[in-house]
Amino acid sequence: MCGIFAYTGTKDCREMLVNGLKMLEYRGYDSAGIVAISSSSDIFLEKAVGRVSALASKVDASKSDTKKYTSGIAHTRWATHGGVTVENTHPHISTNKRFYVVHNGIIENYKELKKSLSETYSFYSQTDTEVIAKLVESLFDGNLKSTMEKVSKKLVGAYSLAVIDSENPGTIVGIKLGSPLIVGKGTDGVYISSDINALSSLAESFSILEDNEMVVIQEGEYSIFMSGHLVERAAEEVQEGQKIDELGDFTSYTEKEIFDIPSVLENVWSGRIDFTNMSIHNETLEELSDLDIERICIISSGSSYYAGDIGSYFFRKFSGISASAVISSEFLSDVFLPDSKTLYVFLSQSGETADVRESMKIVKAKGCMTFGIVNVVGSTIARMADLGLYSHAGVEVGVASTKNVIAQVGVLLMMSISLGLKKDLQISEARGIIAELASLPDKISQTLMQGPHIKELAKKYSSFNDMFVLGRNYFYPVAGEASLKIKELSYIHSESYSAGELKHGPLALVSKDFPTLVFNPMGKFYAKTISNIQEVSARKGPILGIISSNDTHKELYSDMIELPETSELLSVFTGLVSSYLFALYLAEVLGRDVDKPRNLAKSVTVE
């Protein structure tokens, strides 16, 4: 959460810093600020509460300032310490106005440091970041690198930061511990960023900092250090897949990303599933299948948790392996009982999710096997895992994850089939599933064609303040993910339940003003869910059914989204996609900011 961007080079950097923040805005958008410094130490400082666009307007208004500012740091904030005010907006400044700091993360001991520093310095903000700026001034020894080494020893927490000295603006120092930080080099200078998105059109190569590493940018070059020693590491080239696509004719990135899902699934299968021979070929999965795995524990947060929970059904059904999904923050709060026969699977879109990352550290410290499923190449969780697969969803800009969730579910299904073939899953059954997967992108495309119908339903249901979302078996976690999307995007209060739990309390809320969205495609539990629908209908609750096109009880529903005729298994994917469209259009009808929902940030890098 929060986005850091920095530059030093030959160009005036004010507009560049703002544009960098626009690329990072999904990480936090409560406020934003930049400081740009010329080679003669002229300072341009601007801050704004609200979106980066508010900052951009202020920077645009300063075009009469013709000085050339060739170094600077920038920040877009997701508030943790202190309210959303200009005073709390980064960059933060030392008392002597010499040092400027931007910071992502949490300094856990900032109160103790602030108390000590208050004997000498006064504070203007409520943030933990201002403490760093004062600490830099307090410990400055004439060299920013050695000073920051001393500063880092005083800080407790998970963070990344960038510091610039206005008297030596060509030097920028960045430090990483927990929160991500990347340094990139282009033809016009050197950059620091919280992730690759902001560098993709600027840098030709980049390096990802590891925990406890420091990057020093000086005279157009950068060097990486750990514990004062130079780290030798070859830079990586920026790849095409790390660049953000144009929005095109779509009204939001979230909408575009939902419509990207058919091609995303093709990327997930590519090089892993041989549809000609109906088989799975992947070195990682083959290595995984050779392990003695008796249990699988899937650890994740948010939408990834629901993807993992869906995956747990796959592992039990197709692999014959006991599997469970655990919310990562709860994993950290509980007693960990390590088990050498358990495979611990970690899901994260960004590969930087703090709770997931810290859970993995605990598991690895006990010598247990870890498996990462992430979208961002080279991310912390990808580097830490013993084994792993990328979800290959492409850059996801919308804060509410959509296409990556589908990709994660696809990867988990593929894993379950591969593991199952080493156990009791029959080859004929596996081939039947693989044959179905070949048709899945087309089935999803058919689902997406119902957009106009779903938009009309959204207009109707946008008038309600509350909503239940129900499902059974596979569709219980599907309902959880759909409910989360409705909350995230539309701000409508939504709760998900197993359909069988409705009569155990929640039914008391059902009325004509409290609708129920129910997933009930044709399958093993279809008839049981029909009974639950009748319970809602008897209380005059509106019912929106996400059902198979060949459903034989359509008269029970107030409204319907009909899924293309397919198996119960593939209806997991088409059902999720239809619910994403419903949540998207609810949000549009209600005038919500679809790509940047209030109070949220995409990459949750603090616990």
Q: Which SS3 state, helix, strand or coil, does residue 511 take?
A: strand
CB 469 within 8 A of CB 544: no
pLDDT at position 10: 94
Domain assignment present for residue 600? The answer is: no
Q: Which residues contact 171 (CB under 8 A, 6 or more apart)?
A: 8, 144, 164, 165, 216, 217, 218
- 286 and 229: one domain? no
Rounded to an integer, the average pLDDT of 437-442 is: 96
Within 8 A by CB and 6+ apart from 553, the residues are 530, 533
Residue 386 has pLDDT above 80, yes or no: yes
pLDDT, the chain, mean: 94
Q: What's the sign of the alpha-carbon dihedral 79, 80, 85, 90?
A: negative
Q: How confident is the model at residue 80 (pLDDT cuts 50, 70, 90)?
A: confident
Binned at pLDDT 50, 70 and 90, residue 82 comes out as: confident
Is residue 244's pLDDT more than 80? no
Determine the pLDDT at residue 604. 66
pLDDT tens-digit profile of 395-408? 899 999 999 999 99
| Distance in angstroms (rounded) separating the CA atoms of residues 298 and 494 | 25
Instruction: Please compute the mean of the pLDDT values over residues 126-148 and round it to a whole number.
Output: 96
Element at 265 (helix H, strand E): helix 261-269
Give the pLDDT mean for 257-265: 97
Q: Are residues 223 and 262 in the same domain?
A: no
**Predicted confidence (pLDDT) per residue in 458-494, tens digit:** 999 999 999 999 999 999 999 999 999 999 999 999 9
- Is residue 111 included in any domain, yes or no? yes
Region 351-363: mean pLDDT is 93
Catalytic residues: 2, 602
Contact status, residue 169 vs residue 37, Cβ threshold 8 Å: yes
- Residue 606 pLDDT > 80: no
pLDDT of residue 36: 96
In a domain, 602, yes or no: no
**% of the chain exceeding 70 in pLDDT:** 98
Which CATH number belongs to the domain containing residue 573 in this structure?
A: 3.40.50.10490
Q: Answer yes or no: do 204 and 319 share one domain.
A: no
Is 347:373 a contact under the CB 8 Å cutoff?
yes
Cis amide prior to 597 (ω within 30 degrees): no
What letters, b where the CB count within 10 A reaches 16 and e where it falls short, cover 39-64? eeeebbebbbbebbeebbeebeeeee
Question: Within this chain, do residues 420 and 483 fall inside the same structural domain, yes or no?
Answer: no
Burial class from Cβ neighbours inside 10 Å (0-12, 13-18, 19+) for residue 234 reads exposed
The Cα–Cα gap between 410 and 572 comes to 10
pLDDT of residue 605: 55
Last residue of a domain, one of 409, 428, 448: 448
pLDDT of residue 243: 63
Domain co-membership, 538 together with 583: yes
- Overall number of domains in the chain: 3
Q: Which pLDDT tens digit goes with each residue over 182-228?
A: 999 999 999 999 988 889 889 999 999 999 999 999 989 999 999 99
Q: Is residue 181 part of a domain?
A: yes
Domain housing 542? 450-594
3-state secondary structure of 22: helix
Summarize the confidence of residues 294-306 as an average pLDDT.
Answer: 97
- 162 lies in the same domain as 19: yes
- Catalogue the E-assigned strands of 149-241: 157-165, 172-177, 182-186, 189-193, 205-208, 213-218, 221-226, 229-230, 236-237
Domain holding 190: CATH number? 3.60.20.10
For residues 419 and 455, state if they share a domain.
no
State mean pLDDT over 248-271: 95
Is residue 242 pLDDT above 70, yes or no? no
> Do both 299 and 420 map to the same domain?
yes
For residues 232-236, give the mean pLDDT: 89
Choose one of 208, 242, 276: the last residue of a domain.
242
Residues 299 and 434 in one domain: yes
Confidence of residue 158 (pLDDT cuts 50, 70, 90): confident
pLDDT at 169: 93
Question: Which H or E run includes 33?
Answer: strand 31-38
- 263 within some domain: yes
Point out the domain boundary residue: 191, 218, 242: 242
pLDDT at 465: 97
Q: Check whether residue 251 and residue 335 sit in a common domain.
A: yes
Q: 185 in a domain, yes or no?
A: yes
* Residue 316 is assigned to a structural domain of this protein: yes
Averaged pLDDT, 503-509: 92
SS3 151: helix
Pair 438, 462 in one domain: no
**Mapping DSSP to helix (H, G, I), strand (E, B) and coil, where does residue 604 land?**
coil
* pLDDT tens, residue by residue, 19-73: 999 988 888 888 999 999 999 999 999 999 999 999 999 999 887 888 999 999 9
- Summarize the confidence of residues 110-139 as an average pLDDT: 95
Nearest by Cα to 55 from 88, 86, 82, 95? 86
Tell me, yes or no, whether 122 and 58 share the same domain: yes
The reply to whether 604 falls in a domain is no
